[in-house]
Amino acid sequence: MRGDTDRDVLVFKGIRYGADTATRRFRPATPPESWDGVADATRYGHASPQKGAEPDQSEDCLFLNVWTPGLKDGAKRPVMVYVHGGAHANGSGSSPLYDGSALCRRGDVVVVTVNHRLNVFGYNGLSQVLGGPFADSGSVGNLDLVLALQWVRDNIAEFGGDPGCVTLFGQSGGGAKIVTLMAMPAARGLFHRVITMSGQHVTAMGPRHAELRMRRYLDRLGLTPERAGELAALPAARLVDALATPDPLEKGEIIFWSVMDHAALPRHPFAPDAPREAAHIPMIIGNTHDEARAFTASDPRNFQLSWDTVAAKLAPELVLDLNADYVVRRYREIYPQMSPVDVFFAAATAGRSWPGHLVQAQERAKIGAPAWMYQLDFGSPQDRRLKAFHGFDIPLAFDNCGKPGALTGTGPDARAVAAAMSETFVAFARTGDPNNGAIPAWAPYTLDRRPTMIFDVPPHMQDDPRREERLLFSVAPFVKQGT
């Protein structure tokens, strides 16, 4: 295949790791056929069909991209495979924020990003409705990732990488897919370290709820359950349009993601405990201090709240089932200096996604599995209303502050945080231990201390940050929204 260069980095885009999925819709993909001649690898491949503005969508979407400092040189560089976010529904591995050139230069590593099937094409309840050839339909998006990892195992040495030193890292839905792979038998042995960035999944979708959603989706398309097999032949655009179906269990549009089906995914990722079959895999678990601002800061009314209105506005944002009036009252006791607006954004984060990260770290600690926890406190200098919002750690971890959409700016503070985060991720990919000269000593997570790396200027360690908030929300069980 013919790639391209980015100064001293060799770049191969749109490498096919699986055959066109259109003829195997809702079924596990197959490896690609070989080819004669030279394949072009200078342009990104198609993205999965999805709602939104992601360009170049097609069911022929099983492509990956490689950035490397060298080819066939026996260097056995660490391999960092990034799984994109988008709640299992949107996105691709082609974002400028995921460009691997800076990581290659910083750490002499090989970086891989990957596209795979999303939303109903990758995750659905057909297994519960029809079974048979669709028995794995709740996991085919994740099985695409397994196929990509098998490609890495078999081919990455040609690109200067070490197939025995593969780190999976991903943000939001990408991190969620990774923790799901940790519980999937088909993925065992294909990766050796894990970094999740706001990937707070503890539970997958239950099979009965997957079936309920699938039946509602079929109804939107005018199909009875007995005719569900016709989905395999409908135009892809119709399936995408039907994603506007209201979810029968949650607010918003219908949710399709990993299904705990007792087969491809035999258990939930972190319930009732951390998967012991992945206990030997070192893990970094990260979150941002102001996660919920990514979802709530666009509403100007949230910056005009009073003590009389904040609880009513907060209640629908909470995933944990606590009384919003009680939560506001406790925040006022814990943080008397906070305004109603401050309380809203802080509690929306602590009651929505942060507990999932804590559960992962706690369950790993209980079985003695190595885990390190971080929190990004450094916030956006370009949009101070967003602060350290959900997704803000992506350009910092990739050292891509100057890329479109980063919102980090390229000032000295942003550069310093990016240097610390990217150096740390590279060190972890190389050794399985995040400690390096760019940060203070980082201790693994334990239940007695709860040590956490705070990425800020400067980076520093803190035991049990936001302790009172953690205790406030710990009285309710965390079940991932959409489960």
The residues carrying an active-site annotation are 172, 291, 390
Q: DSSP assignment, residue 41?
A: -
Q: Which two tokens stand for residue 377?
A: 């406190």
Q: b vs e for 404-426, b when ≥16 Cβ sit within 10 Å of the residue's Cβ?
A: eebbbeeeeebbbbbbbbbbbbb
- In the block, tokens 């406190």 appear at 377
Place of tokens 């294909």: 190
Strands 9-16 and 4-6: antiparallel
283-288 and 193-197 strand pairing: parallel
Q: Give the integer Cα–Cα distance in Å for 392 and 374.
A: 14
Residue 205 and residue 250 in contact, taking contact as beta carbons nearer than 8 Å: no
**Cβ–Cβ under 8 Å, residues 180 and 265:** yes
Omega before 133 within 30 of 0, i.e. cis: no
Q: Which residue from 106, 155, 109, 122 is spatially nearest to 1, judged by alpha carbons?
A: 155
- Contacts (Cβ under 8 Å, ≥6 apart) of 321: 476
